Amino acid sequence: DTEVTQTPKHLVMGMTNKKSLKCEQHMGHRAMYWYKQKAKKPPELMFVYSYEKLSINESVPSRFSPECPNSSLLNLHLHALQPEDSALYLCASSPPSELNSPLHFGNGTRLTVT
């Protein structure tokens, strides 16, 4: 069982839709991440939040908008996506001050853009 919970597990959306992905953790971790993973590729970092502040944006298009309402929650708002944005979206968390701590991943949201 994962300690990082992502909803929904699957999402199909049209290119004109607006949807949100949600991620929650109660491990007291203060760093949270969004990754995008395409088939047969490694996870690709999108955003990092540290102490609820956006610390890294890996040049992600503005149709992806992250939000960190509090230390336990991380959202990814989606608008006007393209079919090539279809992928597995993974949320992860870690204690930010502990470099030797691994990432804890959620189960992911499998997104299909039609």
Contacts with another protein by CB under 8 A lie at: 2, 31, 41-43, 45, 48, 50, 55-56, 88, 90, 94, 96, 99-100, 102-108, 110
CB of 18 to another protein, least distance (A): 25
Q: Show the CA angle centred on residue 39, arms to residues 38 and 45, nearest 5°.
A: 30
Tokens of 75: 């959202």
CB of 78 to another protein, least distance (A): 19
From CA 90, how far away is CA 79, in angstroms rounded?
A: 18
Q: Are 9 and 91 contacting, i.e. CB atoms less than 8 angstroms apart?
A: no
**Nearest CA to 27 among 109, 79, 104, 112?**
104
Nearer to another protein, 5 or 17 (CB): 5
Handedness of CA 57, 59, 60, 61 (dihedral sign): positive
Nearer to another protein, 68 or 90 (CB): 90
CB of 21 to another protein, least distance (A): 14
CB of 109 to another protein, least distance (A): 10
Nearer to another protein, 12 or 56 (CB): 56
